[in-house]
């Protein structure tokens, strides 16, 4: 028996079982339902993330305005400048002695920090939204 006869015998004995059309449709429907469920959960997760982003944005705006007003009334820039004036910093000293730069930088750092903290806290505490069709 040569190789071609062995190969022909192997193919002659191979009788694959074809699933019925009903089994195929049920399996296809289950897979389509699973894909639809993943789409809905992803959509709900994006919605939850957007809500957290809006909360963080509102808190960031409030803290930014508040910190800018507070830092301009409290002479933070003058205090920092007087602390650093004894150091020999060269060109860096002229940048540090600019009160509006110091105040703006502190307000920006505080605003970004509060915004990030609020976003992550809101994501952690927002309930998982239900998937809707």
The predicted-structure confidence for 16-67, as pLDDT tens digits, reads as follows: 776 677 788 888 899 999 999 999 999 988 999 999 999 999 999 999 899 8
67: Cβ contacts below 8 Å, ≥ 6 apart: 106, 107, 110, 111
With beta carbons less than 8 A apart as the criterion, state whether 117 and 52 touch. no
Decide if pLDDT at 133 tops 60.
Answer: no
Rounded to 5 degrees, what angle do the CA atoms 106, 109, 112 make? 145
**Phi, psi at residue 5, to the nearest 5°?**
-70, -40
- Give how far the C-alpha of residue 30 lies from the chain's centroid of Cα atoms, to the nearest Å: 31
CB atoms within 10 A of CB 131: 15
Longest dimension (CA), the chain: 101
CA-only gyration radius of the chain, Å: 33
For position 70, what pLDDT does the model report?
A: 85
Cα–Cα distance measured from residue 71 to residue 104, given in angstroms and rounded to the nearest whole number: 9
**pLDDT confidence of residue 114:** 94
The encoded tokens of residue 94 equal: 């002229």
For position 121, what pLDDT does the model report?
A: 93
């Amino acid at each position: 028996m040569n190789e071609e006869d062995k190969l022909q015998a192997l193919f002659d004995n191979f009788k694959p079982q074809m699933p019925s059309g009903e089994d195929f449709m049920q399996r296809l429907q289950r897979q389509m339902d699973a894909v639809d469920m993943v789409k809905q959960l992803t959509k709900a997760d994006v919605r939850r993330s957007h809500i957290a982003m809006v909360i963080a944005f509102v808190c960031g705006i409030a803290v930014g305005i508040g910190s800018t007003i507070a830092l301009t009334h409290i002479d933070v820039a003058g205090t920092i400048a007087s602390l650093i004036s004894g150091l020999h910093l060269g060109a860096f000293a002229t940048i540090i002695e600019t009160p509006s730069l110091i105040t703006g930088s502190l307000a920006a750092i505080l605003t970004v920090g509060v915004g990030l903290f609020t976003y992550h806290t809101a994501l952690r505490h927002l309930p998982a939204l239900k998937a809707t069709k």
